[in-house]
Structure 1
Amino acid sequence: MVSTQSLNRQILVKLLIAAVMMFGFGYALVPMYKALCEVTGINVVTNKNDYGVRAFSPNKVGNTQVNYARTVTIEFDSNSRGPFTFKPVKNFLEVHPGEMTEIVYEVTNNQNRSVRAQAIPSYAPKSATEFFTKLECFCFQEQTLAANETKKMPVVFVIDSGLPDDVKTITLSYTFFELGLGGTPPAPKSKVVS
């Protein structure tokens, strides 16, 4: 017959193994989530190193020339998940491919405490994602907002001259959410842009 102490040790070992496996699975979810988002084009999470290279790369010099014969409408959208008021200062801009453009988003922390937050971009139509190059963006890093603080945060971007002619409008959408509250809130439902 097995003693109670021996059974307790076996259960403890099994629980420790289960805890380590759950931690490993949770840790592995981050790269799996990023890969899934990149494949599907939903809430593409990027870092600053992925941007700025295409616009100034020596073999892309021809694509950085401004095409004044063409105008593309860029619509700006915002969603917040947390104690924020978050919006672009303009709802849309008319830009020429190859032209460096800046838009400013404004965020207000509506709490009486400091918060950490992050913005995740998404694009519509999906085919335009590879032609939208951000040179500077508040989404590249985590933001810290003091109690009741309002910040103006710029996005500097270039639309590549190789953008297909049938794309007349691009929507840049950000979801701004608070970090450190036991998980990331669900992504907003995508808006259909025709």
Structure 2
Amino acid sequence: MSAAVQTDPRHGHLQMVFKLVVIVAVMFGFGYAMVPMYRAICAALGINVLSLAEREVPGTASRARPNTQVDTSRTITVEFDANARGPWSFKPEVRSLQVHPGQLNTVVYEFRNDQNRVMSAQAIPSYAPKQSTAHFNKLECFCFNEYTLQPGESKRWPVVFVIDPKLPRDVKTITLSYTFFEVGGKVPPAPVGQLGGRS
């Protein structure tokens, strides 16, 4: 009798159907659990910033988790300088900001082509003191591109930056200086007093 049960093809089919049903159920459960597992892992590792931002509900900003990479025990003064090597206006909207290392910051520079002709220009940044250069991280900057401006055209460009928390603790002030010059045009010589300081 037992031999007949073992050779019954229906019994084998039922076992196969049962296994397939179990596999489908496990796969469905795994797929259903993937989203919360993914969010939990990414939140723990801090690599899913967009997902965290999407889950913020208006009016609950005060309950948002703080950025633990910001060093609130230190304040750095960042000074902004602008040098226009030509007949145009170029300046930052603010002369300085008080920032914490690791904090995301934005400053806006204003530019106006005061000439009666089209010009192409680009800005080159420099930093003081020199050791701050490696710790001044620009995420967005007009200095990344060359721009063409019409006569009398004005532009406002943001610089989005973060000061690396690894900045040496003895650095209290950083100066970000831009020199804006015309590309392919006659660049006026630097003022005599600045010749030695230009690299």
**TM-score under structure 2 normalisation?**
0.61
The one-character-per-residue Cα deviations of 1:29-54 (angstroms, maximum 9, x if unpaired) are xxxxxxxxxxxxxxxxxxxxxxxxxx
Letter in 2 for 1:80: A
| Alignment correspondent of 1:106 | 110
Structure 1 residue 113: deviation in Å? Answer: 1.3
Structure 1 residue 170: deviation in Å? Answer: 0.1
The one-character-per-residue Cα deviations of 1:78-121 (angstroms, maximum 9, x if unpaired) are 00111211000000000000001000000010011111000000
* CA distance in 2: counterparts of 1:86 and 1:184, whole angstroms: 15
The partner residue of 1:75 within 54, 79, 102 is 79
Aligned residues: 130
Letter in 2 for 1:69: S
- Matched-pair identity in %: 59
Runs of at least 4 residues of structure 1 off by over 6 A? none
* CA distance in 1: counterparts of 2:157 and 2:116, whole angstroms: 21
The partner residue of 1:129 within 126, 133, 140 is 133
For structure 2, the 5+ residue unaligned runs are 1-46, 48-66
Matched residue of 2:179: which SS? strand
* CA distance in 1: counterparts of 2:77 and 2:167, whole angstroms: 12
Letter in 2 for 1:95: V
The partner residue of 1:91 within 61, 74, 95 is 95
* CA distance in 2: counterparts of 1:97 and 1:185, whole angstroms: 36
- Contact 1:104/1:154 (<8 A) preserved: yes
- Contact 2:86/2:187 (<8 A) preserved: no
- Contact 1:114/1:145 (<8 A) preserved: yes
CA-based RMSD of the aligned residues comes to 2.3
- Contact 1:88/1:106 (<8 A) preserved: yes
After superposition, residues 1-194 of structure 1 pair within 5 angstroms as 65-181=69-185, 185-186=189-190, 188-189=194-195, 190=197
- Contact 1:64/1:161 (<8 A) preserved: no
Structure 1 residue 123: deviation in Å? Answer: 0.2
For structure 1, the 5+ residue unaligned runs are 1-57
Letter in 2 for 1:169: T
- Contact 2:181/2:187 (<8 A) preserved: no
The structure having more radius of gyration, on CA atoms, is: 2
Structure 1 residue 69: deviation in Å? Answer: 1.2
**TM-score under structure 1 normalisation?**
0.62
Q: How has the CA–CA distance of structure 1 residues 86 and 64 changed in structure 2, closer, same or farther, with 3 Å as cutoff?
A: farther
